[in-house]
Amino acid sequence: MTDHMPDDLSAAGRDLRAYTDELRPRHPVVKNVAGEWVLLRHADVAAAALDHERFSSGVSRYLQVPNGLDGDEHTRYRNVIARFLGPDALTPFVPVFERVAAQLVADLPKGVVLDAVSDIGAVFAVRAQCAWLGWPAELEPRLLEWMQENHAATRSGDRAWTTGVAEQFDEIIRSVVLPRRAADGNAPDDVTTRLCREMVDGRLLTELELVSILRNWTGGDLGSIALCVGVLVAHLAQQPGLVAQLRTASDEQMDAAIDEVLRLDDPFVSNRRITTCPVRIGGVDIPSGARVKLNWTSANRDEAVFDNNRFDPERNAAANLVYGIGKHVCPGRLLATWELRIALQALLASVQTIELAPDQPPEREVAPVGGYHRVPVVFT
């Protein structure tokens, strides 16, 4: 075992945040059992994310729009999706998300144990996304079931299972895209229909491209929003002082606090790249064609950048990598931030206290997922 090759960074059953905290001070770069080079330090993760030439995003044999594309091709598709994710496009949905959040919180039983991830985060994520995209409420149970199975498949590392689950999701997406395409002028006026009418290179997006874009907007992000809600509620349950502060915070202060909690405990663990030539990074030589992982969770806790990892939204904002950096930086950041803020504001408005359930400590997720698996809490 060489200095940069400790045993196994993908070991099932490990809390990745704790494990990378342990590794990072001694090993800037580690090679896991899957043969991937995992970058753990802030400087290296940011450098690789900004170096679009030497670190390509074309990592998958499947079409991934826009995250698996490089260069001009990436830019052309990125411009299409950016139209749906800016402040003008999203502002009309603020009251919609507020209604979804208020209803969900009003329906939560008080004084009993609830799981912040599955009872609040997942349900809110699915309802908010369906409302945004114009998808029917009847899809909600199917999407919730899918999220659970997707998590289980990811954790298992079973390729056939993950592929099967991905195909099920594409089927759900086709069930909303195909009728809209067939209805043409009579399709409902919603975000999904508008996306179906988008052009790239002077032609309509193909079915394959549409499915890929919508998979990206929902498949990955439903899970991330649910996990983020779990992380935020777990943090608030253990920091009553912060709860008091947030009750009187402005929207901007609330967004900054959310970003900082997610920096400390980033459930969106990593993204992949492939080297286009031999590179030296973190003092390690990596060959051309190597698979590389940018570990955002670890980079966001790098002691070299974040002074003892103290909660300090103002000081740490500039270096925060929760939404990435470079050309692939998350275009859904505004949507995610608004959804998370609205969910938290609704919760704070309707409950007096948020406490961890007695004798049921939060359960961390394990590799390759981040955040918490379960956060049992009681609201009064």
Binding site for ligand HEM (CB under 6 A): 49, 57, 66-67, 78, 81, 216-217, 221, 224-225, 228, 268, 271, 296, 322-324, 328, 330-332, 335-336
Which residue type occupies 267?
P
CA 152, 261, 140, 159: dihedral to nearest 10 degrees? -20
Nearest approach, Cβ of residue 296 and ligand HEM (Å): 5
Residue nearest to ligand HEM (CB): 332
Q: How far is the CB of 251 from ligand HEM (least distance, A)?
A: 17
Return the number of the residue (125 or 367) whose C-beta is nearest ligand HEM.
125
Rounded to whole angstroms, how far apart are CA atoms 138 and 135? 8
- For 70, residues 6+ apart whose C-beta sits below 8 A from its C-beta are 52, 56, 57, 58
Q: Facing residues of 270 across strands?
A: 295
* Least distance in angstroms from the C-beta of 3 to ligand HEM: 27
Tokens of 204: 């309509």
CB of 121 to ligand HEM, least distance (A): 10
DSSP string, 74-116: HHHHHHHHHHHHSHHHHGGGHHHHHHHHHHHHHHSPSSSEEEI
- CB nearer to ligand HEM: give 60 or 206: 60
Q: Which is nearer to ligand HEM, 115 or 259 (CB)?
A: 259
Q: How far is the CB of 306 from ligand HEM (least distance, A)?
A: 17
Give φ, ψ of 181 to 5 degrees. -65, -40
Closest CB to ligand HEM among 67 and 345? Answer: 67
Give the shortest CB-360-to-ligand HEM separation in angstroms.
25
C-beta of residue 19 within 8 angstroms of C-beta of residue 9: yes
